[in-house]
Amino acid sequence: MTEVIESRMAVIDAVLDRLLDGLLGLGRLLSPLCSLFVLLQLSALVVLLLLSLRVVCLLWSHAQFTRRLRCFSKPPTQNWLMGHLGEMRSTEEGLQAVDQLVRTYSHSCSWFLGPFYSLVRLFHPDYIKPLLLAPASITVKDELFYGFLRPWLGQSLLLSNGEDWSRRRRLLTPAFHFDILKNYVKIFNHSSDIMHSKWRRLVAEGESRQDMFNHISLMTLDSLLRCTFSYNSNCQESSSEYIAAIFELSTLVIERRGRILHHWDCLYWRSPEGQRFKQACSVVHGFTRTVVQERRAQLLHRGEPESHTDTTGGEEKKKKRVADFIDLLLLSKDEDGHGLTDEEIKAEADTFMFGGHDTTASGISWVLYNLSQHQDYQDRCRAEVNDLLQDRKTDDLDWEDLSSLPFTTMCIKESLRLHSPVSAVTRRYTKDMTVPGGRVIPQGSICLVSIYGTHHNPEIWPDPDVYNPMRFDPENSKDRSSHAFIPFSSGPRNCIGQKFAMAELRVVVALTLRRFRLTPGGVEVRRLPQLVLRAEGGLWLTLETLDAPQD
């Protein structure tokens, strides 16, 4: 029933879009001729009829979901029709409302965004586990939260479904193997060095109070451009059209999500915001497409880079350039010997840039914020890093060093719990899904898995608003649910880049604490959940330069 209603609504939307185009075209040619006036009247009647049909379909679908979701508690609504529309806010107060929701309903509740969208919000490990572990073959990324990214990211791993997703996952997985990630640690060191040099200069000039998000976002973009394209953008010191376009796209996606009329493509692409989105997409796609085409030509002429060179006679050819993300995608083959097309590689590279810089920047920024609030933990992390690096000629961390930072890693994980970069993930399923208590989520409903709500659920995390790294001491973690801590989601559709992200987090946090003491910036911090968790007006901390430890 749900699929039939949705397919009919899609047909109605397509017809409406074409009719609007036709009406606009006729409007330009409008003349006093009566025949044109009559034609316009008839067209208007058809549009009105189709709109009426769409409203009927919406109301019928809304009534069906309302009936089938009665097994879930339903928070108070404005009225039957509007439901909870406007109550899900991307503000500090919105997060506090989630806290209240979790305390009241414990594990889940239904949620209705007017007659347009029917959701089930889940915030308990026992309820989210069967959903996140469901086979990828029945799991679908819904269009409400992810569809706005499609013109930017294409049919990438993040947005694809079914067999297309499975094939892409198989082809991309080798790009995140440990042996590949080891090469990236050098880049993390280098990008951190550039940021820290800038910080030292600013502190020397008397500007010790800085917005962490501003600096760290540029640093993670810098490292990603090097890891993805082997491209030195110098973006930490100077602006570029490509970087500006990425920031523009992220902002526009957030704005569109909050405007219900802009959910309709035929209205959005005619708006000034839609035109700006197209222009920014053109810049980003043009850059990525050029790099992919040039790199494919280079591989044809020069052969495979170092990471794909076999060891012959005990010696590996060291003169070749180390493979980056684009190289690995160009060289990947499926079981039938088929690789990714240039357009597929472009989509994955754009997704890696989108998913890799903002989330990691958010994670790093909040770790530093939390440690600035707890000097005892900060000092203990710093001592751990200094002990590791003593007697070394440089501060550079190696891949093997990352496992020798247990307390720093505990502090990072507790920050990812308390301030999860991504507040929620959404899924839809092609069959009814059963959760504890015999409750059934009907096919087609949007399942909003609240990472924030799960991480702040007092049934799972006592004193959930307290920053306490000892929660992640192995002794304290052994009896905890596997889905109590899910900053990178879980199951077959978890974040493929989570080991990349954790490696960068460890390197940047460790080197920052070795070189700087961080204290609060003297302003109230109000959380701002957008595509990632930010802070209103920036996340300001005060930097104090530290001398290198003496042997």
pLDDT tens-digit map of 224-282: 999 998 888 888 988 778 888 988 998 899 888 878 788 888 889 999 999 999 999 99
3-state SS, one letter per residue, for 221-235: HHHHHHHHHCCCCCC
Buried b (16+ CB within 10 A) or exposed e, 203-227: beeeebbbbbbebbbbbbbbbbbbb
* Cα angle, residue 232 at apex, residues 227 and 234 outer, rounded to 5°: 125
Q: Residue 207 corresponds to which amino acid?
A: E
Under DSSP, is residue 156 helix (H, G, I), strand (E, B) or coil?
Answer: coil
Share of the chain above pLDDT 90, in %: 59
Does residue 412 register a pLDDT over 80?
yes
Please say if the pLDDT value at position 2 is more than 60. no
The per-residue pLDDT for range 305-359, each reduced to its tens digit, is 665 444 334 444 444 566 889 989 998 988 888 889 999 999 999 999 888 888 9
Instruction: Indicate the residue type of 55.
Output: V
Residue 495 is assigned to a ligand binding site: yes
Whole-structure pTM value: 0.87
Give the other-Cβ count within 10 Å of 471's Cβ: 21
| Phi and psi, residue 440, nearest 5° | -120, 125
Give phi and psi for 319, each to the nearest 5.
-80, -15
Phi, psi of 209 (to 5 degrees): -95, 115
Distance separating alpha carbons of residues 427 and 161, to the nearest angstrom? 11
Tokens read off for 317 = 């050819």
Q: Give Cα separations from 17 to 14, 50, 61, 266, 454 (angstroms).
A: 5, 11, 22, 6, 40
**In angstroms, how far apart are the furthest CA atoms of the chain?**
93
d(CA 344, CA 350): 10
Q: Is the pLDDT of residue 174 over 50?
A: yes
Dihedral sign of CA atoms 110, 112, 115, 116 in order? negative
DSSP track, 323-371: P-HHHHHHH---TTS----HHHHHHHHHHHHHHHHHHHHHHHHHHHHHH
